[in-house]
Amino acid sequence: MATNVLRTSTKTISLIQNAKKLLTRTFTTKLTEKQLEIQQSVRDFTNEHLKPKAAKLDQEGKYPFKEIKKLADLGFMGACVDTEYGGLGYDYLSLALAVEELSRGCASTGMLLSIHNFLYANLVNEKGTPEQKELFLRNFTKGCIGCFALSEPEAGSDAANIKTTATRDGDYWILNGKKSWVTSAIEGSAVAVFATFDPELKHKGIVCFLVPLDFEGVFRGKKEQIMGVRAATSCNVTLEEVRVPNSYVVGQPGEGFKIAMEQLDQARIGIAAHAVGISQAALDTAINYAKHRIAFGKSLTRLPSVQDRLTEMSVMVETSRLLTYRAATEVKTKNSAMAKYVAGRNAAAVADHCVQIMGGKGLSTSYDAERHYRDARGTQIYGGVSDVQKRLVGHFLLKENGAL
C-alpha cells in the first residue's frame, strides 16, 4: 500500500514538474554578449557616420551611398546571410538591433538596411537555390542593393489581387505589369517580383521571381516625393514583356503568396525596430532640449507636465522595444504584427510629444524634432498598414483560443 502511494506521489511530482517546464516562458530581454557587441558597434558607427549627416541627407533627399557601402564593408548588408555567401550569419534579433541603432541616427539608412535584409537578402538566403544564391545573393552582401516588389496600384494590403502576369513560354516566363513603392529600385540591382499565372486562383496562382533590374523591358519610374525618410528612394517599376528564365523562380509556381507573407512577417520585425530607433531618437531629443531650456525660472524637466510627457514617451519606447525583441526571437505572424502595430503607433506618439515639448522649435526644420515626426508617421504604413496589423493580431488571438 505504502509502495503504491509512493509511486503515485512520484508520478504526480513528475507530472507537475513537466507541466511547469511547459509553462516556463523562454523569452528573455537579456542580450547575449555577441548581441551587445553588435549593438554597440552599430551605435558607434551611427554616432560617427550617420547622426552628423542625417539632417542634411533628409533635406537634400540624398541616398546614403557612402554609408551603405561602409555597412556593406562591415558585413551588415548580409547580416543574416550564410557565411559561405559572404554574410555574417546573425539571427533576426541581431539584425533588429542594428536596424534600431541605425534608425536612431538616420531613419532613412535604417529603413534601407532593414528592407534589403529582411525582404530581399533573407528571402534568397532561405529560399533560393545554390544557383540563385550565386547570382542574386553573393554580390548583394558586398554592396549591391536588393528590392522587393509586391504592391501595385490596385493591390496594396490586398496582395492576392495583384495584376502583374506571368505567362509560361518554354523555359522562360514573360512578365507584364506595374509595381508600386519599390524601395531602392532606382539604385538596386535586382528585385523579387510577385506575379500571377492565373488571376482566378488568387493567392494560389502567385509566383515569386528574381529579376535583374537591368533586364530588357524593366523600366524604373521617378523617385516618389514623400514626407519622411527622404534620403531613401521609392518608385514604380514597370515590366513589359520581360523574359525571365524558369531557373529564376523562387520555390514553385503557386507558392509566391506564401513566400511573400513569410517575408512580410520578417519585414515587420525590421520596421518595428526602425520605429523603435526613431522613438528613441525623439526621446533623446526631447530630454536634451528640456534639461537645457529654462522656463519659469527652472529647466523644463522640473515641470510636472513635461515630466509626465517624458515618462509616457519612455514607457512607449520600452514597450515597443520589448515587443520587437520578442518578435525577432519568436518569429510568427501574430508577434511581428503586434510589434509593428504598437511600435509604429508609439513612434508617432513619442515624436508628437517631442514636438510639443520643444514648442515652436519643434516645428522648425532647423531642429531634429520635426524630422522624427515625419519619419515616424511612415512606420504605420509601409510593410502593412496598422489597421491590417491590428486585424491580424485579433485573428490569431481568437484562433489560438478556439474562438473563430
User: Using one digit for the tens of pLDDT, what is the confidence trace for 2-54?
Assistant: 445 445 456 666 555 555 554 555 667 789 999 999 999 999 999 999 999 99
Bridge partners of 206, per DSSP, are 196
- What pLDDT was estimated at residue 5? 45
Cα–Cα distance measured from residue 106 to residue 203, given in angstroms and rounded to the nearest whole number? 36
pLDDT tens digit sequence for 336-371? 999 999 999 999 999 999 999 999 999 999 999 999
- pLDDT at position 23, please? 52
Write down the mean pLDDT value for the chain. 93
Q: Tens of pLDDT along 152-202?
A: 998 877 888 899 999 999 999 999 999 999 999 999 999 999 999 999 999
257 falls in which pLDDT band (50, 70, 90)?
very high
As a dihedral over the C-alpha atoms of residue 117, residue 387, residue 229, residue 312, rounded to 10 degrees, the angle is -100
d(CA 103, CA 181): 20
Over range 88-108, report the average pLDDT.
98
Give yes or no for a contact between 384 and 157, defined as CB atoms under 8 angstroms apart: yes
Interhelix angle 107-115/256-292, rounded to 10 degrees, is 160
Q: 258-400, which class in CATH?
A: mainly alpha
- The full length of the chain comes to 404
Question: What are the domain boundaries of the chain?
Answer: 33-141, 146-253, 258-400
Under CATH, what is the fold of the domain 146-253?
Butyryl-CoA Dehydrogenase, subunit A; domain 2 (2.40.110)
Q: Which of 392, 379, 382 is nearest to 345 (CA)?
A: 379
CATH code for residues 33-141: 1.10.540.10
Distance CA 137, CA 87 (A): 9
pTM for the model: 0.91
CB count, 10 Å around CB of 171?
A: 9
Cell output for 146 = 536588393
DSSP 8-state symbol, 385 = -
Cross-strand bridge partners of residue 172: 169, 245
Distance CA 330, CA 131 (A): 30
Say whether pLDDT at 277 is over 90. Answer: yes
Return the pLDDT at 6. 45
| CA atoms of 31 and 291, how far apart (whole Å) | 30
For 332, the 3-state DSSP assignment is coil
Contacts by residues 33-36 (CB-CB < 8 Å, ≥ 24 positions apart):
34/94, 35/93, 35/94, 35/97
Q: At what angle do helices 304-329 and 256-292 cross, to 10 degrees?
A: 150
237-252 pLDDT per residue, tens: 999 999 999 999 999 9
Q: Give the pLDDT confidence score for residue 157 in this predicted structure.
A: 76
User: In this prediction, what percent of the chain has a pLDDT beyond 70?
Assistant: 93
pLDDT at 158: 80
